[in-house]
Every structure is written in structure tokens, then in C-alpha cells.
Chain A
Amino acid sequence: MNDDEWFDRLRNDARSLGYALTDPWQLDRLARGVLERLDAPSPSVFAFLSAWLRPLGVAVALVAVLGTAAALLALRAEEPVAEVTAQILMLQEDPYGAAE
């Protein structure tokens, strides 16, 4: 078998590794897909900005909520200490209970 014959046989077999349509309408579907993408409206500036700002807004709101919650917890934790401190101060001012 000469080189060309050998190569023709190789070409015959190799073509089955190539791209093949699964059905006759596939090209139409793919072409339609391209045109649909061209017709799809491009996002407006407002939509573009809102898409970026929305997660940022959510993050800021989350930080604010967490900050408020943390401040409230801190204040609540400080309250008994403040009461005890006030009582001690009152006792120091009147060590014999003369005020009663």
C-alpha cells in the first residue's frame, strides 16, 4: 500500500472523530441561538449599577444590624455593673445608714 492509499484510509477512519450534526435542524437551532443573543437587550446603566450596588447595600445593612445588636448586648451587659457601682457609691456617701 503506497503512502497516499494509506493516508486515504486513515482519513476515512479519522473523519468519524470529527464534529457531526445530531439532526438536520441542529444548524438552524444554533444559528437561531446566535440571533437570539444579538436580540437580547443589553443591560441598562441603571440595571448594571443596581446589580453591583445591591449586594453592597445588603452588606452595609447586615453590618448595621450586627453593630446595633452588638451595642445593645454590650449595654445590657454593663447595666448590673452600673447598678452595683451606684449602690457602692451610695454606701460610701452614707456608711452608717444615717440617711434612712
Chain B
Amino acid sequence: MRPEQEPARDVGNDEAALIEAARRGDRDAYGQLVRRNLPRALAVAHGIVRNRADAEDLAQEAFVRAHAHLERFRPGAPFAPWLFRIVTNLALDLLKHRGRLREEELGETHAAPRATEADTAAHANEKLRRIDAALELLPEMQRIVARLSLVEELEHADIAAALDITEGTVRSHLSHARAALRAKLSDLYEVS
């Protein structure tokens, strides 16, 4: 069951009113903002950290931080891009922290890389395992864009907002990722 991704771009004045009410301390108004944007916030976080529990923690933390800084929010601006950037920054910080820990572990014990849930799920299915491995081999930005687009099914506008890049840059990364994936997985859907 995938979370339904409610389009946030058609809420317009309604969203502005909710943000204004939330700024004045209306918890219900903020609750509505949370429910509207949570599915895509979860998808952004999961696309970067590839772990369900971490994605849920990060998405919740992003909403808490966004609420704490609502007074800095520019009136009339859309809420989702701002929120997605908070999610992305938290997720990238977590990955950096994990990377440092893993380097320390490897330095001390030569530990095997930590398995993610995606690894586990992928092992159950050879095709998924190959797709997951091919995605992991992409350069960082291509990998994140490809995961957010292909795996989490986010729209280009949301990906651009989350990564603070233009939609053109998203399309460019995706095009390179497509070519690399096609080369790596050329035999995946060949008719035998």
C-alpha cells in the first residue's frame, strides 16, 4: 500500500490560510498541513535514506522543525518545497553521520556494510536486487534523483524542490541515470 500523494499545488489560498492559522498557534491547522504533505515527505526521506523507520523519524522531525520556524516562512510561498528541503537536509546529515560511523567501523573491524530494508527486500527478488544495486552504483545526485523519481514516484517539481535544483537539472540527472541503468540492466527485460 503506497501513500496517496495529494497534490499540494492546487491548495493555494487554503494553504496560506492554514499556515497563517498554524503561526497563530492553531494545532488543527498545522495537523492538516502535516496530513497533506506527509506522504511526499516520507517518500523524499525514504528515497534518500532507504530505511523505513529512519524515513518516518526524519519526516516527523522535519514537521516539528518546520513548525518551530514558521515565523521565518515567507507568507504566500508554497509550504511543500520548504518542508522537502528540511527533510532532504536531515536525511543527508543522517547519511553523512552513518558514513562516518561506517568508516570508523571499517577502520576498526572491517565490518560489512550495514544492510538496509531495501537490501533485505531486494534479496527476496533477484530482479529487484539487481535494480537496487544498479541504482546504488549511480553518482550521488543521479542516484537520489532516480530513486525519488523511479522508486518513490515523486514528480519532477517535488524532486527539484527537495534538492533545491531546477526541474531541468532533475531531467538531466534522470536522463543520465536512465542511460546508465539501461547499460547496467540491458538484459533485464529482454524477450528470451
Contacts and interface: CB of A to CB of B under 8 A. Distances in A.
Given A17-B121, A17-B132, A24 B1 contact: yes
Given A10-B185, A17-B128, A18-B2, A38 B152 contact: no
Given A11-B150, A38-B30, A31 B38 contact: yes
Interface centre among A10, A34, A37 (most CB of B within 10 A): A34
> Interface range on chain A: under 10, 10 to 19, 20 to 34, or 35 or more?
20 to 34
B111 interface: no
B1 A20 contact: yes
B94 interface: no
A6 interface: yes
Given A35-B34, A38-B30, A19 B182 contact: no
Nearest to A19: B46
Tell me what chain A mostly uses at the interface: helix, strand, loop, or mixed: helix
Contacts of B189: 1, 6, 9-10
A67 to B, nearest CB: 38
A38 B64 contact: yes
B43 A19 contact: yes
B186 to A, nearest CB: 9
B178 interface: yes
Interface residues of B, number: 44
Contact of B121 (A16, A21, A23): A16
Contacts of B178: 3, 7
B35 interface: yes
Given A19-B2, A39-B27, A30 B38 contact: yes
B1 A17 contact: no
A18 B152 contact: yes
B188 A10 contact: yes
B42 to A, nearest CB: 5
B1 A1 contact: no
Given A30-B56, A35-B31, 19 more contacts: A1-B190, A10-B131, A10-B188, A13-B131, A14-B135, A14-B150, A15-B2, A16-B121, A17-B122, A17-B131, A18-B153, A20-B2, A21-B1, A21-B2, A27-B3, A27-B38, A30-B60, A37-B60, A38-B27
The 7 closest A-B pairs by CB, nearest first: A19-B46, A14-B150, A34-B63, A18-B151, A21-B1, A31-B34, A18-B152
Interface of A: 1, 3, 6-7, 9-11, 13-24, 27-28, 30-31, 33-35, 37-39
